[in-house]
Structures are given as C-alpha cells and as structure tokens.
Structure 1
Amino acid sequence: MTPITRLVGLAASTTLVLGLAACSVEEEAPAGSATEDATVDETADDTTETSDDAAGTGDASSPAPAAAEGDGTLVLYSGRNEELVQPVLDAFTDETGIEVEVRYGDTAAMAAQLLEEGDNSPAEVFLAQDAGALGAVAREGLLGELPAETLDLVPDTYESAQGDWVGLTGRSRVLVYNKEAVSEDELPGTVAELNEPAWTGRVGIAPTNASFQSFVTALRVLEGDDAAAQWLDGLAANDPQVRERNGMIVADVDAGAIDAGLVNHYYLYELADEQGVPAEDLNAALHFFPAGDAGALVNISGIGLVGEQADAEGQALVDYLLSEAGQTYFVEETHEYPMIEGVGTPAGLPALDELETPEIDLNDLDDLQRTIEMITEAGLL
C-alpha cells in the first residue's frame, strides 16, 4: 500500500490525504495583527474568517515553484496561513537576503503533495500546523535530520524523536467559557465531564478542525481507542454545538450563544485584538484542564527540512524562526507559546512549564486517518 493510499481522506469528492485533509480547517489569521486586512474579519458571524489551513495563494493542484539550488532562494511548503506567516518570512528575507518561494495550502494538502512528489519534490522546507502532519511525512523518510544545535534549542517534548522536525510554537487546548453562564466551581476537571447531563447542549466543538482531531488522537493514545470512541459517542449524544472553526466558538461563547467550547488558547486573544480590548475584558475566559487531562494537550506548529533538497538556505530559515526575532513575532502576533528560552510567555497566559499537560509523545499523533473515521462513526462529521 502506498503512502498516499494509506492516508487517503474520507470524503470521496476530494483527493486530499491524512484523513483530516477532507475536512480540516485550522486557526485563523490573527485579527488585529500587522497583517490584518479586509480578508480577515473574525466577527461574530465569521463570514470572512481566514483559515490558517484554508487561506493562501496556492492549493494542492497549483503548479509547484521551481526548486532552489543554493541560489539565494528556497522553496517552502507552508500549511500555515499566508497572512499569518508572510510577514515573518519577509523579515527573514530582509535579514538574510534569501528569497522564499512559498506554496500555501492547508497542512494536510501540503503533506499530501510531499508524499505524492516524494524525492522529486521541489520543496526544501515544510512548515506545518501540527505534529501529526510532520510525523506522517517524516515516517516516509522525506524529512532530513536537523543539526544538534537546532534541536538543542527546543525541549525534547516538542521535537521529533528522530531529529527530523522541530516545534516552532506551542498551543494549548482549553475550555473557553462565558463568565456569566459558567461559574468557576462548575468548570470541569476533565473533558469526560463535558459528557455529563449538566453540560447538555452547552459545549461548542469544531470537529472538522485539525486541532480537535489532534486532541482526539491524543485521547486515543492516552486512553485507548475504545475509551476514545466512548467519549466521542457520549459527546455526540450530549447535543454539542458544532461550529466550523475555533474562532466561531470563541465569538459565540463571548456573545452568550454558547456557554463553553473546546478550542486552542490563542483564539481568545485574537478576539480581544479584533475588538480592541484586553482579553480580561471579554465575557469569555480560558479554563486550562488540570492534572494532565487529555483536554490540556499542548501541540505545536513545526518545521522540517525536506530530504536531499535541503541546503544551507533552508536551515537559515529554521534558524531565523527559532531566533529571538522569529519567536517574538509569534508571541506578539499570534499569542502562541515560544519554543526557546529567553522569549517571554504571551501576556496574560501561564508559563508553558506551568501547564499540567498530559504525558504524551507528539510523535505518536501521526495516525489521523483512524481519528477521522472515529469522529465520523460517532456522527460528529
């Protein structure tokens, strides 16, 4: 069975792979950032919300850029949104003189393209929004080993065990809740509690999002497929409030349309930026699950060098994104956690090492297709 066949998504109408490719939409470009323009409008109706995995200038069928050969350019396949990452790529070019030819698409589509192209891919660098996609590409031997000095910058928890990808930013799963609708003593200690009758019809989820799918994959790893399937069935039976995107959930929680929702932490800050108010002035607030619950998963956006094509210019990009300047950009513009020492935590958030995260190896989150199947079998897709 070929890698592409093994990773084919569930929707018959699409050729995207990695399971989630058929339906996944990840984080929106941060409102209020230096890159915000008329295409980024994450208001309560989210009618023009730009997806980190859906927006961009390219798609899985667009022509690939020409391969760079140490000529002052490099080819990047980016699964992160153009409005989100292009400014930091421009800063890299200004700093180094290296031009970056970017092919944008959702992370799954970019991973699928790499698997299809194999050793013939023009890509030199793969920037992904989650560890699972990086792991799936690395498993097929398409990512080259990173130097020890790069790996030493990032905690072992947030990099490949084989040294072929490394985390750039951290994002914690949380429960966002409306402070008027949910008292602090009602906040759940585990995601399992959200299936209890007290939460019927009150919890927003975005099952088409890669972040939700990665969380379910983590639940499978931590508790087994049977337990994960039972949780999904219980969630489906508890009348969840389904939304397409995390940003929609946070906006609806803040507006009082939903009491709570499962999202990544930084969406609250995007909404605050959009509204031009401090996050603490919103009606919505964040609850970090305690005691290592699966609901407290910290995933990463990350980067890897693509096989034999990788050269010094690709490594220079990795170095820049893991530099103080690159990491500060992500902290200030996307409110994600930095991966290196010396760069502060985004304002208003607990430090990354203070979070009570589950004991899980992010290298184990690469089986996304079965996760998609289980979410579908539960009737959530």
Structure 2
Amino acid sequence: MTIRATRTVAALAVLGLGLTACGTDAEEPTSGADGTADGTTDDGTTDDGTTTEDAAAGDSSDGTVTLYSGRNEDLVQPVLDAFSEETGIEVEVRYADTAAMAAQILEEGDNSPAEVFLAQDAGALGAVAKEGRLLELPEETLELVPETYRSQDGDWVGLTGRARVLVYNEDAVSEEDLPTSVQELTEDEWAGRVGIAPTNASFQSFVTAMRVLEGDDAARQWLTDMAANDPQIREKNGIIVADVDSGAIDAGLVNHYYLYELAEEQGVPAEDLSAALHFFPDGDTGALVNISGIGLVGEQADGDAQALVDYLLSEAGQTYFVENTHEYPMVEGVEPDPSLPSLDSLDVPDVDLNDLDDLQTTIEMITEAGLL
C-alpha cells in the first residue's frame, strides 16, 4: 500500500472496527463458498483460464461475483437472491461495516478477491477510488445516474439517495421549536437531548460535508461544542430512532429511512409513530443528501460484476430499494415512496459528493472531540 492508503486504513481502524469488526450495518466478513480468495492462480489466470486483464475488460464470466457489502445482510440479500435467480450468477458476499470493508479492500490491495464494493456512502467509495482500487464504469452505466450522484472520474455511481434529517419526538419537541440548522443543536436548549452515531458512515460523511462547506476549523468547533453538550451516543441510526420514538431521547441526527424501518418493525404506518422527521431548510449542512453506491474493484472485476451493477440500477433493483428501504431511487422512471418529499424539493447543501473522500481527517476530528 501507499503511505496515504496505510494512513487511511489506520484512520478507519480508529473506529474500533478493524478489518472484521461489527458496527452499523455490520457483520463479520465471510469468505466465498469455496473458502478461496477469488479463484485466481499465481500466474494471474482465473479458474476458467481467463486473465485478470480479460476480466477487467468485462468480457469474461465464471458464473460468480464477489461482493464486499457495507450494507447489512437482511437488507441486501433479498435483492442479491433476485439477481441470482434472474441471471444464474452466484453472489459470494462479505458483510461488514462500510468503513471496515473500505479498509479491508485497501489492506488487501491487488490481492483482494473483491469484485464489487457496495458502500453506505460516497465518502467510503471516494476513499477507495482515491487509491486507484476502483475501475472506470461504462458510460452507459454512468448515464443512468444524475451527475450529482456519481463519481466525476466515473468509478462509482449512486444506487439510492439518503437524506440527513433530525428525527424528533412530537410529544417532546413542538414544530415551532425545531432548529433551522444543525448549529443550533450545540446550544444549551438541546443539552442532553440529541442522539448521534459517531461510528456511522453517514454521520462521518455529514461531518466531512461540514468541513467542505464551512472549513475544518468550523467543523472541529461544532464537534467540540456538540461533545460538550452531552450528546446521547448510540451505535446505530436505528437505535436513535427507536429511542426517540419511545421518548428516551428527544431528537437525533439520522438518515430519513430509519423511521420507516421502525414503523415496519412495529407493524404500524410511519405517521402513527411518536417520532417524526424534520428536514433542515435553506441548504443547511444537516440536510445533506448522500448516496449508497457501488463500484467495481480491481482488475479481477469481470462481466458478472458489471451485470450485478446493472441489475441494481435496473427498474427491478431500484424498485426493491424504494419499496423495502424507502430510499430515493437514482434512475429516472422509478417512482420514489409517495410519503416522502420529492428529492428535487429538498433544499440541500451545495456540496459535491466527490469531495467527501477524506475520511481520515474526519475520523481524527471526531476522535479528538471525544465522540469516539
């Protein structure tokens, strides 16, 4: 690895995730069904006799694809099963936290068996792409996704859109008292009332966006002030939403779709929960719309890997995410959940998702503030 890659791996490991640990949307990484890395021999040929160069060109196929997933098995496995049923291509998955998967890809380098990386956020994809570990995607794949939600270098695309919100308990917080900016959450009024998940990739990307928009000094000050305001630290966004709904805490910074996840768990409509969503106005950093996204990893990625990317961007794949996760689709023609405000109507901050790739500095800042 390069010195920069080594430092990035070390920064990701600061979260306590290591290369096999659990965090948000995490499971211990598991190897492929045959227990081997990827079926590649020492001379660079695969089990079917093709070279890694052939695979990189997307012309080869061995009927399997190795996916490193930073999204959890309960969420992702059903759509992967549908892909396998339709195409006959088996997907061998390693599940772990997005940060852990990114670190593992960088640690493994050219020896990584990963062919596809599915990440919770653009920052992790950018960190891996920065080290040259992602391949350029075909133009026809890139054109499916708006420029705002794909890599400017063409090496990753968004699969779903995820809006940052403040989830709040309607019995504890009145609408007129809702903050207009995340900056207000460091004030005395909110002391001890706000849940955050510092180990979560979406929180880290939000902090990175603050660094991009307002500068490192401003982001560092917000983290310091937030840490001094007795934040309610939770491991996952879903726990924050559940605690807000139960009244254990008054509010929390999360992604929008966790409210719908809780409603489904409880078997009630989202509007029947005590928790509700507040979308920050006026382009506030707290209104960041990030993506879950995907990229092809290394020279071993073949036609089967590209087929998986294409399926997840197809109408069937996008509809799965809309109906099962309530995230925003990335592909034109697929309708979003009608209970959500349209993506175009959200007043989001003017930040390029390609600029969220400096996870190392962000994690260092979060740690120095005492939030990790």
TM-score normalised according to structure 1 size = 0.87
The answer to whether the 8 A contact 1:9-1:21 is kept is: no
Q: Secondary structure at the match of 1:369?
A: helix
Q: Could you say which residue in structure 2 is the equivalent of 1:105?
A: 96
2:39 alignment partner, one of 66, 69, 72? 66
Q: Which amino acid aligns with 1:54?
A: A
Q: Could you say which residue in structure 2 is the equivalent of 1:47?
A: none
The answer for unaligned runs of 5 or more in structure 1 is 11-15, 27-49
Q: Could you say which residue in structure 1 is the equivalent of 2:10?
A: 9
Aligned ranges 1:291-330 → 2 under 5 Å: 291-330=282-321
Q: Could you say which residue in structure 1 is the equivalent of 2:17?
A: 22
Distance 1:346 1:235 in 2: 33
Aligned ranges 1:1-381 → 2 under 5 Å: 1-9=2-10, 17=13, 20=15, 22=17, 53-55=25-27, 58=30, 64-66=37-39, 70-381=61-372
The answer to whether the 8 A contact 2:150-2:156 is kept is: yes
Q: CA deviation at 1:211?
A: 1.3
Give per-residue Cα distances to partners, 1:216-249, cap 9 Å, x unaligned.
Answer: 1111111001001111111112121111211111
The answer to whether the 8 A contact 1:56-1:82 is kept is: no
Range with greater deviation from structure 2 (167-176 or 242-251): 242-251
The answer to whether the 8 A contact 2:205-2:356 is kept is: yes
Work out the number of aligned pairs and report it: 350
Q: Secondary structure at the match of 2:282?
A: coil
Q: CA deviation at 1:310?
A: 2.0
Identity of matched residues, %:
75
Distance 2:147 2:176 in 1: 35
Q: Secondary structure at the match of 1:309?
A: coil
Q: CA deviation at 1:52?
A: 5.1
Give per-residue Cα distances to partners, 1:257-279, cap 9 Å, x unaligned.
Answer: 11111111111001100110000
Q: CA deviation at 1:336?
A: 1.0
Q: CA deviation at 1:86?
A: 1.0
Range with greater deviation from structure 2 (108-117 or 87-96): 108-117
The answer to whether the 8 A contact 2:17-2:23 is kept is: no
Distance 1:248 1:191, change over 3 A: same
The answer to whether the 8 A contact 2:23-2:96 is kept is: no
Distance 1:360 1:24 in 2: 30
Distance 1:305 1:272 in 2: 34
TM-score normalised according to structure 2 size = 0.89
Q: Could you say which residue in structure 1 is the equivalent of 2:55?
A: none
Q: CA deviation at 1:23?
A: 8.1
Q: Secondary structure at the match of 1:308?
A: coil
Q: CA deviation at 1:21?
A: 6.2
Q: Could you say which residue in structure 2 is the equivalent of 1:29?
A: none
Q: Secondary structure at the match of 1:133?
A: helix
Q: Could you say which residue in structure 2 is the equivalent of 1:43?
A: none
Distance 1:52 1:228 in 2: 23
Distance 1:214 1:20, change over 3 A: farther
Q: CA deviation at 1:72?
A: 1.5
Distance 1:309 1:25 in 2: 22
Q: Which amino acid aligns with 1:64?
A: A
Distance 1:320 1:8 in 2: 30
Range with greater deviation from structure 2 (161-170 or 299-308): 299-308
Q: Which amino acid aligns with 1:53?
A: D
CA RMSD of aligned residues (A): 2.2
Q: CA deviation at 1:3?
A: 4.0
The answer to whether the 8 A contact 2:20-2:29 is kept is: no
The answer to whether the 8 A contact 1:213-1:372 is kept is: yes
Q: CA deviation at 1:123?
A: 1.9
Q: CA deviation at 1:97?
A: 1.2
Q: Which amino acid aligns with 2:8?
A: L
The answer to whether the 8 A contact 2:165-2:278 is kept is: yes
Q: CA deviation at 1:9?
A: 3.4
The answer to whether the 8 A contact 2:116-2:295 is kept is: yes
Q: CA deviation at 1:94?
A: 0.9
Q: Secondary structure at the match of 2:71?
A: coil
Distance 1:351 1:374 in 2: 33
Q: Which amino acid aligns with 2:17?
A: A
Distance 1:268 1:237, change over 3 A: same
Distance 1:116 1:200, change over 3 A: closer
Q: Which amino acid aligns with 2:75?
A: L
Distance 2:83 2:77 in 1: 10
